[in-house]
Structure 1
Amino acid sequence: MIHNRALLTGEHVKQISKGVTLKHGRWICSQCHSTRQSHFYQYRSVILDKKIVYCRNCVNIGRVDNMNDVFLIETHNVKSSCHYQLPFELSEQQQFASKKIVTAIAHLRSLLLHAVTGAGKTEMIFEGIKYARNEGLNIAIVSPRVDVVIEVSMRIKKAFVDEDIDVLHQSSQQQFDGHFVIATVHQLYRFKQHFDLIIVDEVDAFPLSVDPTLMQTLVHASKFKHCHILMTATPPRVLMRQIKHLEVIALPARFHRYPLPVPRFQFLKINPHKKQYKLLKYLQQQIEQQRYTLVFFNNIDVMKRLFHLYKNEVPSLTYVYSDDALRFDKIERLRRGDHQIVFTTTILERGFTMAYLDVLILNSHLFEANAIVQIAGRVGRKAEAPTGLVLCMHEGITLPMLQARHSIKKMNKLAQKRGWID
């Protein structure tokens, strides 16, 4: 979908319509397909002497209204040789999943991969990507989180060096023809009946998990006959009810054949106004042992207060959260090893991989089970450092904490039963 006619070159226009239309007394957005009337804002244009209605739900990727046309371009398919480079062999579990994915794509049949964190999901889809592009299928690999999109795009572009890959998020622009796209889910608003294959990483992540219009975006961006590969380590019950018709593939092992780190529980009541010896000692020990540490908070104000308390005691300490203007720079510096200790919100619970990493969850009694599982999944993801510490500091053990630990132990037991971990 294109907003500006001047951007059209040799494309064939399939359909022209207003960005916002009125049908049966209700406004409908041509871009995000929202029909929720609270999403539409109306005002009177003094210059045009007309009522202007625009959609606020998708305004971040381009405003559409009832006055201006949008142009739907005819989609087309182009085959590619699509070779990839992988400097290691897939594990037995990864090969099993890869074959399942290729079969699903070949038959345009959707499925859910319930794969533990660190299972090597990205590498599992490589053969499926190659098959799809060899057949000329248009593919999109999407995630609700921009951090995940950036992480995944770096790994895929490194493997598929000869492919024209569009990476689309809030800070990037489309460069190629959209046959191979890696993007945040919101960017799919731009595409209509275009993709034969959509792979959704972290399908349970916010905001996809709570926004019905985003889930519908997957459908609107897909052709009538399509394949959706949904991937997550923590499928919520709501999602499982929605997709109960799909085949579910359980993948309980990490690619390096080491078990998932099991969270340890330790009592500590956090005081945001006073340094606490137990916490300070732990952070200093992490530095002495040359381990990198993510310290997770559920409250930004508490995180900032503790940062100012400990910043003089802990070398190169920093913090990061979703609205941090230096967020991406800080994460890149963490990857380079410039920071050994980072205070963070759940913005880093997904899509972050680093060797020699441990995690500490402060006030873990306030976290949901899925969040604890995802945070624990940051540890031990690299083959050169497959173990690590997951420490939950709490004011009382809660049911979600126990559920998270039980879920991790259950996956380890299943992986051992299948012979996929040592």
Structure 2
Amino acid sequence: MKCPRCQNEDPNFFAYDKGVYYCRKCIVFSRVQVGDTIEPCHLSHRIWKGKPKLTYALTEKQKQCSTKTLNYLKQGRDVFVYAATGAGKTEITFASISYYLSQGKKVAFAISRRQVVLEIAERLRKAFCELSVVEVAQDYTQVTDADLIVCTMHQLYRYPYGFDLLILDEVDAFPYAGNTLLEAIVDLSCIGQKLYLSATPSSEILAQIEAGKMEVVKLFERPHKHPLVIPKVIQRDPWRQVLYLLIFCARCQKEHKQVLVFVPRRQDCFWMAWVLRLVCKAVGIHSATHDKDKILEAFRQKQYDVLVCTTLLERGITIGSVQVAVYQAQHIVFSTASLIQIFGRIGRTFDDPAGKGVCLCQYASQSVRECIKLLEWMNDSASSAMPP
């Protein structure tokens, strides 16, 4: 037996009902019976030969990476873009998106996290203002087709055999990383090439690159050409870390700088925000927060000085002039990749390309040490004349 959707062949994941076997592994998406045929989805196709509108011109290295990526895709190869946070991964894909649309082909952007789906959709609307763009995620499922589709990985189940170019952003992040079910859903939705994007490739992706199963394009220089911020590592006991945060946030408030404070657990969000309210306007947010979209937008509008959050906001979020602090950075939830992404929130804009990062911990864990080492390596690589 084999599931026609997720390719499951494990007998433990099949159940028998009224004369037929069905797959329990992917039943969360809908019931599929053994022997069923997965029909292709019906999506609109439009030939568009326009050009995206950018708020700034691509740098020479970005242009080189963009051209190299498109050339590999034209050869029928899957591509992994290994780029530093804030290096312009999204903009590098625009030439490839434009080419596929000019051929009347279908393109989608798939991302692990809902918050990033909403942000990328808005960026694509501005760049491809002549096209319709739809986000498909939790609370956004009434419309599921447009010229460009931006969705969570889970929502790809709606699009079997749907996309000629599938752009997969932050593929090393939860819940996609290591999830064989989502990998199967991704494979089913793509009839052409896959374009992977991340600043922190997993060991599985690196192994595929080494085995020649996909091409790699690297870019570690940010458009403003300032280096990635290397965080200051401060080792203190937990309560002295809190005291440090009070002083740090108070200083940032005087400098009119907002702060993202990352904490390891959901329950840490609200007591930490309560403590920080002694010196500034602070609020907490995590994945189960009911009005998280409203809170995040209020922070963007500078209604709060400090946003205390979990790793929910470690990726894809761009906020100008933000400083970053991590509380209890030695906690297991803060992996090397997570810390690189977190400190990558700093210095992403031309208006304020620098900033402060503070890594508060009881001891410098392996993840903390590797984060510093990799950020320094990316800065060294960015100074080379050509993309490595």
Q: TM-score, normalised by structure 2?
A: 0.90
Q: 1:99 aligns with which of 63, 67, 72?
A: 67
1:218 Cα deviation (Å)? Answer: 2.1
Q: For the residues of structure 1 that align with 2:121 and 2:131, how far apart are their CA atoms?
A: 12
- Which residue of the other structure, out of 277, 297, 314, is the alignment partner of 1:349? 314
Q: Distance in 1 between matches of 2:116 and 2:22?
A: 30
* Residues 75-114 of structure 1, C-alpha deviations (whole Å, 9 max, x = no match): 5754223432113210111101110122123222211111
Letter in 1 for 2:296: I
Residue among 196, 199, 205 paired with 1:239: 205
What is the DSSP-based 3-state SS (H/G/I as helix, E as strand, rest coil) of the residue aligned with 2:168?
Answer: strand
Q: SS of the counterpart of 2:238?
A: coil
Instruction: Render the CA deviation track for 1:110-133: whole Å, top value 9, x for unaligned.
Output: 111110000011111111111110
Look up the match of 2:260: 294
Deviation at 1:268, TM superposition (A): 2.1
Cα–Cα, structure 1 residues 88 and 240, in superposed 2: closer, same or farther, change >3 Å? same
From the superposition, tell whether residues 263 and 419 of structure 1 become closer, same or farther in structure 2 (CA, over 3 Å): farther
The alignment status of 1:337 with 2:305, answered yes or no, reads no
Q: CA deviation at 1:180?
A: 2.6
Q: Distance in 2 between matches of 1:129 and 1:275?
A: 46
Which residue in 1 is equivalent to 2:273? Answer: 307
Q: What is the letter of the counterpart of residue 387 of structure 1?
A: A
The correspondence of residues 225-304 of structure 1 with structure 2, limited to 5 A, is 226-244=192-210, 245=212, 246-271=214-239, 276-304=242-270
Matched with 2:52 is: 84
The TM-score with structure 1 as length reference comes to 0.83
- Counterpart CA distance in 1 for 2:67 and 2:113 is 27
* Equivalent in 147, 151, 157 of residue 189 of structure 1: 157
Distance in 2, Cα, partners of 1:385 & 1:39: 52
d(CA) in 1 for partners of 2:106, 2:144: 12
Alignment of 1:122-201 (within 5 A): 122-173=90-141, 175=143, 177=145, 180-201=148-169
Residues 78 and 195 of structure 2 are in contact (CA less than 8 Å); yes or no, is this contact kept in structure 1? yes
For residue 385 of structure 1, the aligned residue among 343, 352, 375 is 352
TM-superposed CA distance for 1:179, in Å, is 5.1
Residue in 2 aligned with 1:416?
383
Superposed structure 1 runs of 4+ greater than 4 Å apart: 30-42, 50-60, 73-77, 176-179
Whole-Å Cα distance in 1 between the matches of residues 216 and 264 of structure 2?
31
The residue aligned with 1:372 is 339
Q: 1:339 to 1:53 in 2, by over 3 A?
A: farther
Q: Select which of 65, 76, 79 maps to 1:108.
A: 76
Q: 1:410 and 1:403, CA in 2 relative to 1: closer, same or farther beyond 3 A?
A: same
Cα displacement (A) at 1:261 = 0.3
Whether contact under 8 Å (2:231, 2:356) holds in the other structure is yes
The sequence identity of aligned pairs, in percent, is 26
Deviates more, 1:235-244 or 1:127-136: 235-244
One-letter code of the match for 2:30? R
**Is contact 2:41-2:160 (8 Å) kept?**
no
Distance 2:79 2:168 in 1: 11
Structure 2 CA distance, aligned partners of 1:242 and 1:415? 24
Q: Which has the higher strand share?
A: 1
Cα root mean square deviation, aligned: 2.6
> Which is worse superposed, 178-187 or 387-396?
178-187
Partner AA of 1:290 in structure 2? H
**Which residue identity does 2:302 align to in structure 1?**
G
- Could you say what secondary structure the match of 2:372 adopts? helix
The one-letter code matched in structure 2 to 1:388 is: G
Q: Residues 355 and 381 of structure 1 are in contact (CA less than 8 Å); yes or no, is this contact kept in structure 2? A: yes
Q: Provide the rounded CA distance (Å) in 2 between the counterparts of 1:258 and 1:107.
A: 34
The one-letter code sitting in structure 2 at the alignment partner of 1:198 is L
> Residue 292 of structure 2 corresponds to which residue in structure 1?
327
